[in-house]
Amino acid sequence: MSRREPLIFELSDEGKRAFWLPPLDVPEKKEHLEAIDIRDDISGFPEVTEPEVVRHFTRLSQTNFCVDTSFYPLGSCTMKYNPKINEKVASLPSFLLSHPEAPAELVQGNLAILKQLETFLAAITGMAHFTLSPAAGAHGELTGMMIIQAALTQRGNPRKIVLIPDSAHGTNPSSAHICGYRVQEIKSNEAGTVDLQDLSRLMTEEVAALMLTNPNTLGIFEKDIHRIAEIVHAKGGFVYMDGANLNALLGRFRPGDHGVDVLHLNLHKTFATPHGGGGPGAGPVGVTAELEPFLPIPVIRAEAGQLVLDFDRPLSIGRVRSFFGNFLVIVKALAYILSLGGRGLKEVAEIAVLNANYIRKSLEGIYHLKYSTPSLHECVFSDKFQREKGIQNIDIAKRLIDYGLHPPTMSFPLIVHGALMIEPTETESKAELDAFIEAMKKIAQEAETDPESLKTAPHRAYVGRLDETAAARHPVLRWKG
């Protein structure tokens, strides 16, 4: 594709239109406008026809890589296949048409969906209760930290510090900070996991919680999690687990059984709802029985054979979102769990881990692997070998595009300099994995023989490598005509 698709505003011309309302069927009265300050015409607002709309957005869609067309191994994002049947059931008419303020007795089906997913997530994770309100993973983190804070406040002291390993995703410290906590970093040990001694030293009675991702962002299982929980609990703190990587643990480890007090999940990762180019997701939060009173409102409960909404919860942290969360995302996740069942979910983890280890084994020695500890669903290489030739992870990533592959997550986790974080998920065939491995090997060769082709990559994309520095220095954030 060589021709640049114009902006919708550039396609616009006065008098074109793509939409007609039925004629106004009530008597039109101009006097209704008299008391109202009416705006001027919106200058530059699009005026296009339907064929142009369809072509514009279809053409733009074709410039995207996506899971439906390409291997998309973004680490920690779990870019698995999104089953189409889940889209279909989520578009049943009453789900789309239900108003969120409808009386509860008229939307019992919707409430049953929410309740059912809460129950299933509890069975999968071992947590006692769930809220489905949070709209995304980071929103779940914030909700979870608020719950911890509320519980500590009730005990008399909300405390001041949250401990977070240096391998954590950036949302963890950011969420803790919005809660008013000071973040203290825990250094990872040589195995890439939490250092128990360092934890014991830092864990004081001023620490509200430890936020721990498990498996962590290196794909490594924090095998001492139960001991970690003991250390944190002994000082009266809580263990928050970031469940972004739960895909690796389905049917093999239930965080709620081993000292995790609060857990958030990402339905758009583990439970296969589409990522939508950056949302909508959903970030349910699970808690222990002790923390249940602090869940956000509303809470759904059964009463005399009906599901009702409970707002009268004096210890609740309050509301974190309007209405009930991203309901349609919840429907899709429920459909996913129902279609796979317990055994299917266990198999998901099994193959996700198999695929990641297959890639790890195939590329070990060609790309530098900082941590030799066994890993689960993802593996983190670095550009250390290639850097000697002046090649960085970004060059490798951009060159992958020329091979028709989406690059892995780059430059994260921060503890691996020049990181390439690869998460294949369970929905990739061996042929796709082999093609990726082959491309990565070729790129390693090219780094030796033709480094220039990497530095100037991509060569076969819709656009060449874009100047992100210039974009930030002189921001152009909208069309100005």
Partner 1 sequence: MSYIPLSPKEIQAMLQKIGVTSPEELFRCIPEEIRWTKPLELPPPLTEPELINYFQGLNQRNSYPGFLSFLGAGAYPHIIPTVVDYLSSRGEFLTPYTPYQPEVSQGTLQIIFEYQTLICQLTGLEVANASLYEGATAAAEAVLMAHRIKNKPKILVAKTLHPQYRQVIATYVRRLGLKIEEIGFNLESGRLSLDDLRKHLDEEVAALVIQSPNFLGIIEEPGEAFSLIKERGALAIAVVAEALSLGLLQPPGKYGADIACGEGQSFGLPLSFGGPYLGFIACREEFTRQLPGRVAGQTKDAEGRVGYVLTLSTREQHIRRERATSNICTNQAWCALRATIFLATLGRQGLREMAYHNLQKAHYALEKLTSIREISQPLSGPFFNEFVVSLKKPVADVFNELTKRGFIPGYILEKDYPDLKNCLLICVTEIHPQETIDRLVSVLKEVFS
Q: Which of 272, 72, 238, 220 is nearest to 154 (CA)?
A: 238
CA atoms within 13 A on the CB side of 220: 21
- Cβ-based nearer residue to partner 1, 9 or 385: 9
| Cβ neighbourhood burial of 265 (10 Å; 0-12, 13-18, 19+) | buried
Task: Give the contact letters, 197-236, x = binds to partner 1 (CB under 8 A), - = no.
Answer: -----------------------xx-x-xx----------
> Residue 103 CB, nearest distance to partner 1 (Å)?
7
Q: Count the site residues for partner 1 by CB under 8 A.
A: 202
User: In the beta sheet, which residues pair with residue 74?
Assistant: 422
DSSP state string for 181-231: PEEEEE-B-TTSSB-HHHHHHH--TTEEEEEEESS-TTS---TTHHHHHHH
- Cβ-based nearer residue to partner 1, 100 or 390: 100
| 54 lines the binding site for partner 1 (CB under 8 A) | yes
| 303 lines the binding site for partner 1 (CB under 8 A) | no
- Cβ-based nearer residue to partner 1, 171 or 288: 171
Among 127, 199, 295, 320, binds partner 1 (CB under 8 A): 320
| Cβ neighbourhood burial of 468 (10 Å; 0-12, 13-18, 19+) | exposed
CA dihedral 194→196→200→204, nearest 10 degrees, is 20
> Residue 358 CB, nearest distance to partner 1 (Å)?
5
| 103 lines the binding site for partner 1 (CB under 8 A) | yes
| 302 lines the binding site for partner 1 (CB under 8 A) | no
| 309 lines the binding site for partner 1 (CB under 8 A) | no
Phi, psi angles (nearest 5°) of residue 259 = 95, 0
> Residue 322 CB, nearest distance to partner 1 (Å)?
4
> Residue 20 CB, nearest distance to partner 1 (Å)?
7
Secondary structure letter of residue 462 according to DSSP: S
Neighbours of 308 (CB within 10 A): 16
| 72 lines the binding site for partner 1 (CB under 8 A) | yes
- Cβ-based nearer residue to partner 1, 203 or 307: 307
Neighbours of 372 (CB within 10 A): 10
- Cβ-based nearer residue to partner 1, 146 or 203: 146
The Cα 473–Cα 481 span in angstroms is 21
Among 4, 160, 201, 301, binds partner 1 (CB under 8 A): 4
Does residue 9 contact residue 479 with C-beta atoms inside 8 Å? yes
Sign (positive or negative) of CA dihedral 302, 304, 310, 316:
negative
Alpha carbon 152 to chain centroid, angstroms = 28
Residue appearing with tokens 């794909």:
219
Task: Give the contact letters, 145-184, x = binds to partner 1 (CB under 8 A), - = no.
Answer: -x--x--------x----------xxx-xxxxxxxx--x-
Q: Which of residues 78-97 bind partner 1 (CB under 8 A)?
A: 79-83, 85, 87-89, 92-97
- Cβ-based nearer residue to partner 1, 109 or 448: 109
Q: Which of 80, 59, 27 is nearest to 355 (CA)?
A: 80
3-state secondary structure of 21: coil
- Cβ-based nearer residue to partner 1, 348 or 440: 348
- Give Dmax over CA atoms of the chain in angstroms: 78
Residue appearing with tokens 């049947």:
85
> Residue 385 CB, nearest distance to partner 1 (Å)?
21
Q: Which of residues 321-340 bind partner 1 (CB under 8 A)?
A: 321-329, 331, 335, 337-340
> Residue 285 CB, nearest distance to partner 1 (Å)?
14
| 3 lines the binding site for partner 1 (CB under 8 A) | no
Among 261, 378, 423, 426, binds partner 1 (CB under 8 A): 426
> Residue 219 CB, nearest distance to partner 1 (Å)?
10
Q: Which of residues 356-415 bind partner 1 (CB under 8 A)?
A: 357-358, 361-362, 373-376, 397-398, 401, 406-407, 409-410, 412
